Amino acid sequence: MPLSKLGLRNNAYGLTQTELYRNVDREDPKEILNGVAVSGLVGILRQLGDLAEFAAEIFHGIQEEVMATASRSNQLKIRLQRIEATVPPLEKAVLAQTTHIHFAYTGGLEWHPRIPNQQNHLIYDDLPRLIMDPYEECRDPPRLHLLDKFDINGPGSCLKRYSDPTYFRRASSNLSQGTKKFQSNNKNCKIKKKKSSSRSRDMARLASMANQSARKTIASFSFSGQTSSSLTASTSDMEKRSDLQDHHSHSFDSRSGSGYNECISTATSSLRKPKGVFVSSSLTPGSCTIASVLSECETEDAQDSFQFSPSHGQAARGSSCVSWDEKAEIVEPLGVQKDEALEMMEKNSVVDALDEKASCGEETGRVDYGNSESGSQQHTGIDEAREMKTGLESMGEQRDSEHETESEGDCFVDALNIIESESENDQGLQTSQEVASSPCGVTDERLEKSVCEQEVESNFNTVEGSCRPMDEEKSCGLVETLSSINVSDEMNHQDPGLSSDIACSPRHDPCTSNIPGGADYMAFTFVPALENSSSNSSNLLYHSDLQEHQKSEAKTSNDVEAIKLWTNGGLLGLKPSKPQVLAVPSSVSSDCKTDEMKVGSAEAEKDKSGYLLENASYRHVLNNSSLATPGTQNLIVADQRECHETSSGVFGLSHKLLTNGFRRRDSFPYDRQTVPATIPENDEVTTEKSRSITEKTLMDPFRDEAPIDWITSSPPLQHMKISLSPVDTLQASRLKLKFSDGNNNNNNDTFSSFQLLPEAATSFPDSCSDDDTFCRSSPYMSDTDYLGDNHSLSNSEQWEESSDSNERKEQELYDSFHESRHVDEPSSLVIESESGCVDLSYLQNPAEPSPPPFPPVQWMVSKTHSEKVDDKTQSLQLQDALRFAFEKHISLSPVNKELPNIVTSPPKPELKVHLKNNAREEKQKSAKEKETEAGDFLQQIRTQQFNLKPVVMTTTLSAAATTDPAINTKISAILEKANSIRQAVASNDGDESDTWSDT
């Protein structure tokens, strides 16, 4: 819904003036009514007028859009016609090709998108109303055209001249040149020279703003209608024209101008200032890096001389080189001992602090430096420390100079200083403020202390150790200095004429790297940052160094990647480039090894150690070029140091991660080994668990609870042993099952139960006894064990509970076993007492082949009972029959001897059947019970046979003579019963599970 541009006024009668019907004669109603009617008609007319205006506006807008669309469509049409004209020959050429496959290997089209930037996106017309109001409400520009008649160039020249910002920039530069010559001996000149490049950048931005404002003023001229159309031209055109008119502007005094001219001067003074600062910023890197050698006055003079001549930058560089040589000359002859050097360093630190606080000349500090540079082994650390210190000093000087700048309102406009300070804060450099927050003296002292430690130990490890006491303030200070230097370098890159001065800063690299032994690691981390910042600079030395270090990088590329991973993952809170942290330990370990090797070589050869250290440092720094923060590099130093300590953890999380990773890595194969292969389901479960844990470790490397849970989740084996030990009767089978795999490791805490339970489950049906309670309790036990173990493994956090439940369940199991034992023993006793042939001793020997299953207890008991009863009755009947036959035999003559065989044979099958039923039991009984019980039984049989022998001899004749049919029927009945029993036993073999489990 578009916003309503126009609204129709509602009341038609209210649109008119009320005088139409109020100023009439009240006594004449017709007039009043006519007045009211006329007012209504007038209101309608006004509504129609509004409607017409609204319609005109709407149709105008629509017409514009339609015209634009039509023009676009026409352009499209024209372009399309052009393409149509060009396509047919191409089409012919393409169709003329025999094979089109080579088009697939051509480069295709060369896409060069034309991004037309024909119009400004932010022009003054687009400014918001709040900003445009002051321009509209301001006074008109002075009528400079009135002065044209006094000007040589004719009409419009005065307006061009006095509204040209470049003119004032040039005029102010000339004025500042004169004033700087006057102020060359004054300290206030330091202000401009020590300005950072960020400030110059801000000034450049302000210059553009000033141009913008100047352009606006020109535009305001155009509103006056008195100027030509050339006034609305861009400032570049104005600059070109002003260059031609520059020779006429010397006689101009900005102070004599009108208010408008004053405004222009304030705007153009901002252009004057960037010029000076821009020139002075070109020397800030030199002052940072060579400030220990160059005096401040030299730099001042150099700046004074360089300010309007960019070619002096090379001279400044040459002077810095000479100063380096001079320094070397100073250093070499002096052979002061270390103690003296330490004392001197401390004194220098104090003196420097005092110097900086008092903002005195740096010449004294420089002299102290020259005195303190003693010992060929020490000067490297000192120099590097001096570099850092001078960087800090330069920052402190910048700070002081900026304060002085703010205090001095003569040179610059206050508003511009405010804008500068704001812009500095906006650009996030914050160098001066943070340096101001941290006193430079304290940092210098700390730095000197670190340097002293370096001197005392003069070893790489000790150098690294000296890096330890560095506080965050100092590192921040270094970061600030580096950032300031980087910014200054960037600004110098913007100026091609002054970029040669940047070469001074990387020139330190070979100087420091060629110094053998005691190479300061901080310095190496310090310098490459400069290199990174000034990588665009054309410095051959720097490139040669880079080539060397690239060679060294090629040697140890794996280490590099490992370090990358470390730095990305641990330091800055960034995500590592590779989420798989599992690969980190190996790489890091290799890195540690290589570092150790390098350290060993460094200890062995001192000359090479510096080179190696240099390589290492450069490698670290170049790898971390994306980060490019010296703070991280210092941390990398600590990383390397702790890698030597094989703790492999600088960054807390990464250290933990690594340790955990090692643990897990050690534990994984171990766990996989401990997983028994005989348990497929549990094996799968555990492997899945292990996989999930590995995935967790991979995906969530910073989780530290996982290994702890993993360790605590495994149930102790002692617990299981204790729970199993009290079982006596079934313990043999159970323990046998437990150790059947041969994995009797005591460390198999986790899967001990898994080894036990399935075997128990499979063995219990085989080893099932006649006891019902045992048969019922064993699956229950196995179920509980399964549940308990699964619970303990699945819910590792609740292992305590599960262990308690396991204890309870094991106690229950133990109780159930005892109960089953208590139940078993009476039953077995009963069976033994009754039958004397039922033996459960085979349960204790599961190694033997499993016997055929037994019938249920009740049935078996009843059967044995019936058998026994039958046997008894049968024996009684036999005795009676034999007695009867014996009596007959006595009475008659015993002649036939074949009959006893016949007579004795019938009971023998019966006994054989009975023995066959009990033979299986007897085989599996213990030897004692066999001897006792079976011996008794056989003895009875023998006695019976022994008793029968004479009877047979006596009854043969009687049996043959008599052939008692009753005895034969009884024998046949006994045989039938035996057959039925055999069949019943055979049938019970088939449906074993049902009968045994149910009974």
- What is 421-435 written as a DSSP string? HHHHHHTT--HHHHH
Q: Look-up: residue for tokens 């709407």?
A: 58
Q: Burial-class residue 395 by CB neighbours within 10 Å (0-12, 13-18, 19+).
A: buried
79 binds another protein per the rule CB under 8 A: yes
Residue from 14, 18, 19, 83 binding another protein (CB under 8 A):
83
Task: Spell 741-757 as b/e; 16+ CB within 10 A means b.
Answer: bebeeeebbbbbbbbbb
The window from 57-65, 282-290, 483-491, 779-787 that contacts another protein (CB under 8 A) reads: 57-65
Q: Is 99 in the site for another protein (CB under 8 A)?
A: yes
- In whole angstroms, the minimum distance from the beta carbon of 324 to another protein comes to 55
Residue 389 corresponds to which tokens in the numbers above? Answer: 């210190």
Q: Is 67 in the site for another protein (CB under 8 A)?
A: no
Q: Please, which residue, 88 or 128, has the CB nearer to another protein?
A: 88
Contact between 73 and another protein (CB under 8 A)?
Answer: yes
Locate 634 and state its tokens: 């210092």
- What is the Cα–Cα distance from 670 to 358, expressed in whole angstroms? 68
Closer to another protein by Cβ: residue 30 or 149:
30
- The smaller minimum CB distance to another protein, of residues 21 and 764, is found at 21
Identify which of residues 81 and 437 has a Cβ nearer to another protein in the complex. Answer: 81
Given CA atoms 73, 79, 82, 84 in this order, what sign does their dihedral have? negative
955-974 positions binding another protein, by CB under 8 A: none
Closest distance of CB 117 from another protein, Å: 17
Comparison of 7 and 742: residue with beta carbon closer to another protein: 7
114/247 with CB nearer another protein? 114
Residue 78 or 699 with smaller CB distance to another protein: 78
Select from 23, 87, 140, 801 the one that contacts another protein (CB under 8 A): 87
CB 527 within 8 A of CB 395: no
Select the residue interacting with another protein from 19, 22, 76, 695 (CB under 8 A).
76
Per CB under 8 A, the list member of 17, 19, 22, 51 interacting with another protein is 51
> Which residue stretch of 60-68, 299-307, 766-774, 906-914 sits at the interface with another protein (rule: CB under 8 A)?
60-68
Query: How many CA atoms, within 13 angstroms, populate the side-chain half-sphere of residue 601?
Result: 14
Please, are residues 345 and 372 in contact by the beta-carbon 8 Å criterion? yes
What value, to the nearest 5°, has the Cα angle with vertex 541 and ends 540 and 543? 65
Q: Determine which residue in the list 25, 26, 104, 110 makes contact with another protein, applying CB under 8 A.
A: 110
- Residue 38 CB, shortest distance to another protein, in Å, is 9
1 binds another protein (CB under 8 A): yes
Please give the C-alpha separations between residue 97 and each of 107, 110, 703, in angstroms, as whole numbers: 17, 22, 64
3-state secondary structure 895-947: CCCCHHHHHHCCHHHHHHHHHHHHHHHHHHCCHHHHHHHHHHHHHHHHHHHHH
**Nearer of residues 67 and 890 to another protein, judged by Cβ:** 67
Site size with another protein, rule: CB under 8 A = 53
Q: Does 106 help bind another protein (rule: CB under 8 A)?
A: yes
Count of alpha carbons within 13 angstroms of residue 934, beta-carbon side: 20
Give the whole-angstrom CA distance, residue 648 versus residue 764: 53
**Among 25, 26, 96, 339, interactor with another protein by CB under 8 A:** 96
Tokens 């401390």 identify what position? 346
Question: 493 with 197: CB under 8 angstroms?
Answer: no
Q: Which secondary-structure segment (H or E) carries 281?
A: helix 259-281
Nearer to another protein, 62 or 354 (CB): 62
280 vs 296: CA distance, rounded Å: 13
The tokens for 710 are 């993993």
Q: Is residue 94 near another protein by the rule CB under 8 A?
A: yes
Nearer to another protein, 100 or 247 (CB): 100
Cβ atoms 652, 572 nearer than 8 A: no
Q: Which two tokens stand for residue 554?
A: 């090629």
Determine, following the binding rule CB under 8 A, whether residue 109 of this chain makes contact with another protein: yes
Cα(621)–Cα(612) distance, integer angstroms: 14
Residue selected from 14, 29, 409, 600 as contacting another protein according to rule CB under 8 A: 29
Least distance to another protein, CB of residue 50, Å: 8
- Is residue 33 part of the contact set for another protein (CB under 8 A)? yes
The span of 69-77, 193-201, 325-333, 355-363 binding another protein (CB under 8 A) equals 69-77
Cβ 43 vs Cβ 11: under 8 Å = yes
Q: Does 65 bind another protein (CB under 8 A)?
A: yes
Which of 43, 276, 517, 907 touches another protein (CB under 8 A)?
A: 43
Q: CB 34 → another protein: shortest distance, Å?
A: 8
Q: Cα separation of 547 and 534, whole Å?
A: 16
- Please name which of 235, 288, 223, 294 lies closest in space to residue 264, comparing C-alpha atoms: 235
Among positions 98, 117, 229, 256, the unique one binding another protein when judged by CB under 8 A: 98
User: Min. distance of Cβ 120 from another protein in angstroms?
Assistant: 22
Q: Where does this chain touch another protein (CB under 8 A) — which range of 43-51, 409-417, 439-447, 534-542?
A: 43-51
Place of tokens 């600030």: 480
Contacts of 580 (CB under 8 A, 6+ apart): 698
Cβ-based nearer residue to another protein, 37 or 830: 37
Of the candidates 22, 72, 240, 672, which one interacts with another protein according to CB under 8 A? 72
Q: Residue 265 in contact with residue 257, Cβ under 8 Å?
A: yes
Query: Could you say whether residue 86 binds another protein (CB under 8 A)?
Result: yes
24 contributes a contact to another protein by CB under 8 A: no
**791: how many CB neighbours lie within 10 A of its CB?**
17
| C-beta separation of 999 from 930 below 8 A | no
Among 18, 19, 23, 82, binds another protein (CB under 8 A): 82
Choice between 93 and 540, CB closer to another protein: 93
- Cβ proximity to another protein: between 93 and 122 the closer is 93
Q: What span, in angstroms and rounded, lies between the C-alpha atoms of 518 and 610?
A: 7
Q: Which residue has the tokens 């205090």?
A: 407
If DSSP codes are grouped into helix, strand and coil, which group holds residue 581? Answer: coil
Part in contact with another protein (CB under 8 A); list of ranges 35-43, 365-373, 688-696, 869-877: 35-43
At 1, is the secondary structure helix, strand, or coil? Answer: coil
CB nearer to another protein: pick between 96 and 966:
96
**What is the CA 434 to chain-centroid distance, rounded?**
31
**Interface residue with another protein, options 111, 118, 137, 333 (CB under 8 A):** 111
Measured CA to CA, the distance from residue 296 to residue 283 in angstroms comes to: 11
Judged by the rule CB under 8 A, the positions of this chain that interact with another protein are 1-2, 4, 8, 12-13, 29-30, 33, 36-37, 40-41, 43-44, 47-48, 50-51, 54-55, 58, 61-62, 65-66, 68-69, 72-73, 76, 79-80, 82-83, 86-87, 89-90, 93-94, 96-99, 102-103, 106, 108-112
